[in-house]
């Protein structure tokens, strides 16, 4: 049996490709065109898994799937190979944010780690959002100012349209000729981080944002 090798955002990407195939099927396009759509979906999926074995490549292959039930079984099978979000304790979280002596923490026992790309929670008392992510093998965390908005927009993390909130953080960037210099980064992201984790298909922007915020 192959080891777990699929990340949450990778499974989300696969689901997105399946949705596109299903949509193409409903349009009754010619079989040769549909075959090209499926072939392209397979190629895109493999681009997200550059180091998989031949066994894993075969497992990811969509070519032989025809019915909704088969696609559903395919996703259920792949879900068994999900890499869970790294286990983290309340003490580790407190250590990440030492300035907050009364840090409000999420209930870690209720979180499904298999459906997380990043961990996030809000502290409405202080209008803060906290984000924790495994960056280059290290668990890192940042805090942001958090402000709900009344309009829907694109989320910077998952690139989906929906209810968003504005948040900003001050980076650790410094200038030797100006010790008082600071740089703030602002973004619109999903107001509901659980929904964002269900939709995110690429972590490039998330990782880049955290690197900039942490001055890496």
pLDDT, position 116: 96
What contacts 77, CB < 8 A, 6 or more positions away?
59
The dihedrals phi and psi of 118, each to the nearest 5 degrees, come to -140, 155
pLDDT, position 86: 94
CA angle (85 as vertex; 167, 152 as ends), nearest 5: 30
Q: Identify which of 68, 114, 81 has the alpha carbon closest to the alpha carbon of residue 1.
A: 81
Instruction: Tell me how far apart the alpha carbons of residues 179 and 168 are, in angstroms, rounded to a whole number.
Output: 21
pLDDT, position 175: 55
Per-residue pLDDT tens digits of the chain, which is 216 residues long? 579 999 999 999 999 999 999 999 999 889 999 999 999 999 999 999 999 999 999 999 999 999 999 999 999 999 999 999 999 999 999 999 998 888 889 999 999 989 999 999 998 888 899 999 999 999 999 999 988 888 899 999 999 999 999 989 877 655 555 555 567 788 899 999 999 999 999 999 999 999 988 877
User: Is residue 147 helix, strand or coil?
Assistant: strand
pLDDT, position 196: 97
Whole-prediction pTM: 0.91
């Amino acid at each position: 049996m192959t080891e777990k090798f699929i990340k949450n955002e990778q499974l989300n990407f696969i689901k997105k490709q399946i949705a596109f195939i299903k949509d193409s099927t409903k349009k009754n396009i010619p079989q040769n065109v549909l075959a090209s759509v499926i072939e392209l979906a397979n190629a895109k999926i493999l681009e997200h898994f550059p180091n998989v074995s031949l066994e894993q490549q075969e497992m990811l292959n969509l070519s032989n799937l025809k019915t909704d039930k088969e696609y559903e079984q395919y996703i259920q099978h792949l879900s068994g190979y999900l890499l869970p979000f790294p286990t983290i304790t309340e003490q580790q979280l407190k250590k990440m944010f030492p300035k907050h002596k009364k840090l409000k923490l999420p209930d870690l026992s209720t979180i499904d780690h298999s459906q997380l790309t990043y961990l996030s929670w809000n502290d409405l008392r202080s209008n803060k959002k906290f984000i924790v992510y495994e960056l280059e093998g290290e668990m890192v965390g940042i805090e942001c100012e958090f402000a709900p908005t009344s309009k829907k927009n694109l989320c910077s993390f998952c690139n989906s349209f929906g209810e968003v909130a504005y948040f900003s953080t001050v980076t650790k960037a410094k200038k030797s000729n100006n010790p008082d210099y600071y740089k703030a980064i602002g973004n619109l992201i999903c107001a509901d981080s659980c929904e964002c984790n269900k939709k995110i298909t690429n972590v490039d922007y998330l990782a880049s944002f955290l690197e900039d915020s942490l001055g890496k």
